[in-house]
Amino acid sequence: MKFEQASPPNPIDQERVVTRPYTRIEGPLKVSGQAPYAYEYGLPDAPTYGFVLGAGIAHGRVTRIDTTQAEGAPGVLLVLTHENMPAQAKSDTPVPQQTEASPQLSGPEVRHYHQAVAFVVAETYEQARAAANLIEVEYEQTPGQFKLADTVESGKEPEDAVDSVVGDFESAFADAAVSVDLTFTTPDQSQAPMEPHATIAQWDGDQLTVHTAHQVVHWVRRGLALTLNIPQKDVRVVAAFVGGGFGTKLLFFSDAVLSAAAARLLGRPVKTTLHRPLIFNNTSHRAATIQRVRLGADAGGTLHAVGHDTWTGNLPGGDSEPACEQTKYLYGGEHRQIRTRQSELDLPPGASMRAPGEAVGMLALEGAMDELAEKLGLDPVELRLLNDVQFDPEKGPKRPFSSRRLAAALRTGAKAFGWDDRPRAPRERQDGEWYVGYGVASAFRTNLVKPSGATVRLNPGGTLTVETQMTDIGTGSYTVLGQVAAEMLGLNLDQVEVKLGDSDFPTSSGSGGSWGANSSSAGVYAACDELRRDLAQKAGYQNASAVFRGGKVWQGAECTELSDLAGNGGVEATARMTYGDLTEQFMQAGFGAHFVEAGVNAHTGEVRVRRALSVVAAGRILNPVTARSQCLGGMTMGIGSALMEALHVDHDLGLFVNHDLGEYHVPVHADIPDLDVIFLDELDDQSSPLRAKGVGELGISGVGAAVANAVYNASGVRVRDFPITLDKILAGWDA
């Protein structure tokens, strides 16, 4: 099925099951410990255990590696290095950063700290870890570049972020009645998923089965097959439950490649998890940015000049952090200059992290909008409303937004939050020893769709089974896909079994980029539509007039039980949803508004978020419970990004020194106050037959800026170097 025109009325519009607040159907498995994650699958044969030894330098080469003591240690079965690693090839997965993770142990060159230099397999994890410490490695260390600020002059226009220039920005900015020219910096950040990267690999002849923690099953299947020089048909990947990814599990790393290679050599399963420091330095992270935002407006607040420059860095071949993306679309302004420059750094690979681009780009853009509003003497909400636009500002009215309820989100949020009661000036309101301030920011996230397929099977007895490669990374995929299938076939949710995360199933969109629920649901929709046709024909009904309701298919007053149509063998249909050019005809995005109340301690400069509200317009909300959870998680990450998250780089040694959850600070329960989410009614018929849009990353995009703006309103200190820590507040007061 190809989606290439606006969605007409369809069975999803019944909203008998879809849009209803079902709790997660796999929840009991998770809370009882029965949901198997990558490291927890049972095996018919006793597994062996792998341990990855990471490089002790960030740039240079291995000149000598002696594994003698390790090979003779108790329980050790195999030690792999670049000297005996089987031949490999490079992966060409859709994630360019994967070139830095595949192949593994391919040579003596060291490209970043904690790059794998050896792999030990033993009978127990403890034996493998102990033996790894016995390996002697000598290096020739060469100078590397680890500091983004020192490389801005060498930055080049990356292939994935072409300059966007409309009109004459420099002249318009120079002539603006009111303008701001501001620089913001954001640090390197880690996705830090709760579940470590982990893999169990086992071979049966030429057939490889890999249980791994990955967000897109067909990407890792193809990547492993290419890396190991084997046919894709000989690789099976299973990822039924994934304990968070936030982008880092769009790639595969040393655990997957080395486990598979070692398992083949040993003829036994190999089980590997990356210990926490390796997750920070061996896998991916969000790259640091330096951003310059220039906004020029007339005296009434209408934008005429919009400029956003981003500098970022990565290993050779890696993508840029697209921090300018939202600035292309969020506000009007006829003169625009949006540019990205990327330099080469010798840090671990930079890659996707929840809301790549917008999460940090909105910190700069929405911070600049707040400062412009102050300079104009305008309410920050009114400034945003004044510059709302219903079409792509770069391409004009010929490319309208498929739906855009930014203004409604701002107005709804302002009323619900009590925005009119906000402090009008910094340090105007005090609650005991706390200054109290309000902040606002718009929310924006580009809506992405991916081809996706599924198989649906009407079983004897009238129940339904759904099979698709789609993963559940804690987002509620099992429940949402079950709801879509139940709606299409006129069943209750408890009559549907959903099976996910297996490469034996039809290829799915996978989870990432907020494309998961909408795209994978569209694949299930396509398969169910095909099954409906087959069942209607089998019943002797016209498909166009057949109605599926209450476990029956109806035509007028006549009906047939689905269980009768299933017979003894069941009825099965497989289909795939692909897309035309609607994303080219219409700019598609989710919109919203974030409101934050923050307190700043008058003595210590400590910041506490007191309450926060997000108003979200993201098409049809398929399940308000799981969607709300996604928004709350995004809001929490946004607060963390604003106030505490930062990987600290040792600029001499080239590593992230705070490489564990003790030193890399993320929000905990005590940091997060009452959060609330309001969903606006919206249907986007250009997005998919579900008329939904992505929501998971919209929840983070803009939250940090709302926090920063609230901190200023409370304290009078503008912090543009994130995260906002108390020392920066105190320094502002001293100044």
679's CB contacts (< 8 A; 6+ apart) are 616, 617, 618, 621, 624, 627, 628
Beta bridge partners of 454: 575
Q: Which fold has domain 2-35+449-582?
A: Aldehyde Oxidoreductase; domain 4 (3.30.365)
529-556 mean pLDDT: 97
389-395 mean pLDDT: 97
pTM beyond 0.95? yes
Work out the end-to-end distance of the chain between its first and last CA atoms, rounded to an integer number of angstroms: 63
* pLDDT category of residue 180 using cuts at 50, 70 and 90: very high
Q: Order across the sheet with 136-141: list the strands.
A: 109-110, 60-66, 136-141
Helix (H) or strand (E) holding 221: helix 217-228
Give rounded-to-5 percent helix, strand, coil for the chain.
Answer: 30, 25, 40
Q: Specify the pLDDT at position 364.
A: 98
ω into 277 cis (within 30 of 0): no
CA-to-CA distance for 27 and 539, rounded, in angstroms? 37
Q: Specify the pLDDT at position 63.
A: 98
CA-to-CA distance for 570 and 460, rounded, in angstroms? 5
The whole-angstrom distance between residue 424's C-alpha and the CA centroid of its chain comes to 36
Is a pLDDT exceeding 90 seen at residue 93? no
Answer yes or no: are the C-beta atoms of 426 and 589 closer than 8 Å.
Answer: no
Q: Which fold has domain 38-143+191-281?
A: Aldehyde Oxidoreductase; domain 4 (3.30.365)
CA-to-CA distance for 516 and 8, rounded, in angstroms? 22
Answer yes or no: are the C-beta atoms of 91 and 141 closer than 8 Å.
Answer: no
Q: Residue 559 — φ and ψ, nearest 5°?
A: -145, 160
Give 603-630 pLDDT, tens digit per residue: 999 999 999 999 999 999 999 999 999 9
CA-to-CA distance for 596 and 585, rounded, in angstroms? 35
Give 235-293 pLDDT, tens digit per residue: 999 999 999 999 999 999 999 999 999 999 999 999 999 999 999 999 999 999 999 99
Of 573, 620, 547, 578, nearest in space to 11 by CA: 547
Please, where in the chain does CATH 3.30.365.10 lie? 2-35+449-582, 38-143+191-281, 400-447+588-734
Is a pLDDT exceeding 80 seen at residue 98? no
Most distant CA atoms of the chain, gap in Å: 82
- Token output for 676: 């609330």
Count of helices and strands (H, E) across the chain: 17, 30
- Token output for 3: 């989606």
Q: Three-state secondary structure along 672-694?
A: CCEEEEEECCCCCCCCCCCCECC
The size of the chain, in residues, is: 735
Q: Specify the pLDDT at position 651.
A: 96
Ramachandran class of 550: left when φ > 0, alpha when ψ lies in -120 to 50, beta otherwise: left
Answer yes or no: are the C-beta atoms of 696 and 634 closer than 8 Å.
Answer: yes
Give 394-430 pLDDT, tens digit per residue: 999 999 999 999 999 999 999 999 999 999 999 999 9
DSSP one-letter string for 475-510: S-HHHHHHHHHHHHHT--GGGEEEE-SBTTSPP---
Sign for the CA dihedral angle at 517, 201, 247, 165 comes to: negative
Range name among 42-46, 641-645, 655-659 with the lowest pLDDT average:
42-46
DSSP state of 248: G
Is a pLDDT exceeding 60 seen at residue 40? yes
Query: Could you tell me where the DSSP H helices lie in 15-84?
Result: 27-31, 68-71
Give 474-521 pLDDT, tens digit per residue: 999 999 999 999 999 999 999 999 999 999 999 999 999 999 999 999
20-44 mean pLDDT: 96
Answer yes or no: are the C-beta atoms of 253 and 101 closer than 8 Å.
Answer: yes
Q: Order across the sheet with 558-561: list the strands.
A: 547-549, 552-555, 558-561
Give 302-334 pLDDT, tens digit per residue: 999 999 999 999 999 899 999 999 999 999 999
What is the residue type of 391?
Answer: F
Mean per-residue pLDDT over the chain, rounded: 97
Q: How far is CA 479 from CA 69, 74, 500, in A?
A: 51, 47, 11
Pairing of strands 136-141, 60-66: antiparallel
Pairing of strands 496-499, 198-204: unpaired
Examine the residue annotation and report whether 697 is marked as an active-site residue of this protein. yes
Answer yes or no: are the C-beta atoms of 244 and 37 closer than 8 Å.
Answer: no
CA-to-CA distance for 317 and 246, rounded, in angstroms? 21
Is a pLDDT exceeding 70 seen at residue 117? yes
Q: Specify the pLDDT at position 466.
A: 99
CA-to-CA distance for 79 and 72, rounded, in angstroms? 10
3.30.360.10, 3.30.365.10, 3.40.50.300, 3.90.1150.110: which CATH number matches 400-447+588-734?
A: 3.30.365.10
Q: Specify the pLDDT at position 96.
A: 47
CA-to-CA distance for 206 and 260, rounded, in angstroms? 12
CA-to-CA distance for 505 and 508, rounded, in angstroms? 9
Pairing of strands 270-273, 48-54: parallel
Is a pLDDT exceeding 50 seen at residue 722? yes
Give 192-227 pLDDT, tens digit per residue: 999 999 999 999 999 999 999 999 999 999 999 999
* pLDDT category of residue 92 using cuts at 50, 70 and 90: confident
Is a pLDDT exceeding 80 seen at residue 454? yes
What is the residue type of 129?
Answer: R
* Beta strands, E only, 18-166: 48-54, 60-66, 76-80, 109-110, 116-122, 136-141, 164-166
Question: Please, is 451 exposed, middle or buried when counting C-beta atoms within 10 Å of its C-beta (0-12, 13-18, 19+)?
Answer: middle
Answer yes or no: are the C-beta atoms of 414 and 595 closer than 8 Å.
Answer: yes
Beta bridge partners of 165: 337
Answer yes or no: are the C-beta atoms of 271 and 50 closer than 8 Å.
Answer: yes
* Beta strands, E only, 170-314: 178-186, 198-204, 207-212, 235-238, 270-273, 289-297, 303-314
CA-to-CA distance for 702 and 710, rounded, in angstroms? 12
CA-to-CA distance for 7 and 683, rounded, in angstroms? 10
CA-to-CA distance for 374 and 112, rounded, in angstroms? 44
574-581 mean pLDDT: 98
Question: Please, is 286 exposed, middle or buried when counting C-beta atoms within 10 Å of its C-beta (0-12, 13-18, 19+)?
Answer: buried
Query: Could you tell me where the DSSP H helices lie in 574-623?
Result: 582-585
* pLDDT category of residue 102 using cuts at 50, 70 and 90: confident
Is a pLDDT exceeding 70 seen at residue 233? yes
What is the residue type of 204?
Answer: D
Q: Specify the pLDDT at position 702.
A: 98
Q: How far is CA 694 from CA 91, 212, 511, 705, in A?
A: 28, 25, 11, 21
Catalytic residue among 467, 530, 645, 697: 697
Residue with tokens 């993770």: 101
How many CB atoms are closer than 10 A to CB 422? 22
